[in-house]
Amino acid sequence: MKEQTNNTRREFLKKASFGVAALSAGSIFNGISATSYRRIVGANERIQVAMMGVNSRGFALANNFSSQPNSEVTYICDVDRRAAEKCLRDVVKNQSRQPKLQPDFRKALDDKDVDVLVVAAPDHWHAPAAILASKAGKHVYLEKPCSHNPAEGELLMAASKKYGNVIQMGNQRRSWPNVKQAIEALHGGIIGQPYYAKTWYTNNRASIGVGKPAPVPDWLDFDLWQGPAPRREFQDNLIHYNWHWFWHWGTGEALNNGTHMVDLARWGLQVAYPERVTSTGGRYRYQDDWEAPDTQLITLDFGQRGMIAWEGRSCNGRVNEGESTGVVFYGEKGSVQIGGGNAYQVYDLENKLVKDVKNEVTIDPRNRTNPSQSLDAIHIQDFFKGIKNGQKLASDIESGHISTLLVQLGNIAQRSGGLLDIDPSNGYILDNLEAQALWSREYEKGWEPKI
């Protein structure tokens, strides 16, 4: 009987309206608003979602998934009790069903009715949580970066292949209409052969200071927060968000924000693995606990196939090309610029603007929580189509892993002498034992990710 019910729900989902993404953005489709559509679609036909990590980006994703007419959030999982309760208060404004608060996401995976795990916890949890969800038969929407280190990315691809689930990485610009149009124009030869992509991210982040050991707050399960990472003492400048700048848990600005634009650069140049990677930079602005570079330049050399550069400035917000984040493609006949939003410009070799496609939605790329909800809904619906009918994803885990790996290689170069030679057939580091040691990491005993 249970199998029959699940089959019925799958059949319904296959027949869901093609314009659901537009509905979720607040438009009208066949005279039915998103709110009305949600009333029509029964609870059994909606994709059931468990949210993992809802303090920052996950809070925005929980609101977005709960606003979709063909899904609902059934579990809110966070080791911070305050964040979970805050998220619950917002989600119930979007859907009639009240989610369950479950601090340990693994218990939510035990619920056979859960279809999807959304992973927006800190980076060191991304791949291990996605692998556990895959083993439990769940689909996964995985925030970027898809992994903390390259070995975890390989495990993710193997897990998806073994368990046959859908894993979509949250590099949502792959689904934004005008960004897609820009890449299609690039591939169509609008500037001839592109050969160089310059990408960047800028911000004005403050110092995180020097942390002191402190008692674990009563609202936090710090042991579960650390999860697969070897145990360290709690300190007062770690949670929340500052973990990004510690190699033990985070991956620096390169993967925090560089992943997005390096992914677009790789997509536009139609490249995969480089031949050589360099990185220079350091922690220059403040003397504090921040371990990753606040200023970094990564170059990815693909030989005759082209080159990608990423410039990260975490502590100086002076914009490049009028944008706080973006990518410019340089080619035989001109250049194409994609900024932080759903817009692009085309210039000829004389710097004359020959095409200007405007933003349809106001976007703040520096908003670390929710810069672009209505556009991100398109990426969510793309994920749902992959679940419903096997449609090819805008950002499947193989593509997500390759883009993540590029910036991981940049960080590895930064931490091991500045230069890596790479096997262009698979992305592996050549003849550098120090760098190869950073391909993986140590895990807390008993928490090692396994497929």
- Bigger pLDDT: 11 vs 305: 305
211-220 long-range Cβ contacts below 8 angstroms, 24+ apart: 211/235, 211/236, 211/237, 211/238, 211/289, 212/236, 212/237, 219/80, 219/81, 219/82, 220/79, 220/80, 220/81
For position 367, what pLDDT does the model report? 58
Mean predicted confidence (pLDDT) in 159-174: 97
Mean predicted confidence (pLDDT) in 290-311: 98
If asked whether residues 193 and 258 sit together in one domain, one would say yes
For position 431, what pLDDT does the model report? 97
For position 333, what pLDDT does the model report? 98
Q: Are 3 and 137 in contact (CB under 8 A)?
A: no
User: N- to C-terminal Cα distance for the chain?
Assistant: 30
For position 449, what pLDDT does the model report? 97
422 forms beta bridges with 429
In a domain, 63, yes or no: yes
Only one residue has tokens 């050549």, namely 430
* pLDDT tens-place string over residues 173-210: 999 999 999 999 999 999 999 999 999 999 999 999 99
For position 44, what pLDDT does the model report? 63
**Residue 352 DSSP one-character state:** -
Number of neighbours of residue 129 by Cβ within 10 angstroms? 26
CATH number for the domain spanning 358: value is 3.30.360.10
Q: Are 243 and 250 in contact (CB under 8 A)?
A: yes
Q: Which of 161, 70, 40, 146 shows the shortest CA–CA distance to 382?
A: 70
**With bands split at pLDDT 50, 70 and 90, how would you rate the model's confidence at 20?**
very low
In a domain, 373, yes or no: no
For position 45, what pLDDT does the model report? 85
**What sign does the CA torsion over 259, 254, 262, 370 have?**
positive
If asked whether residues 190 and 89 sit together in one domain, one would say no
If asked whether residues 293 and 412 sit together in one domain, one would say yes
If asked whether residues 126 and 186 sit together in one domain, one would say no
Q: CA 103 to CA 274: how far, in whole Å?
A: 41
If asked whether residues 324 and 416 sit together in one domain, one would say yes
* pLDDT tens-place string over residues 53-80: 999 999 999 999 999 999 999 999 999 9
What residues make up the domain containing 126?
2-174+380-389
pLDDT of residue 423 exceeding 90: yes
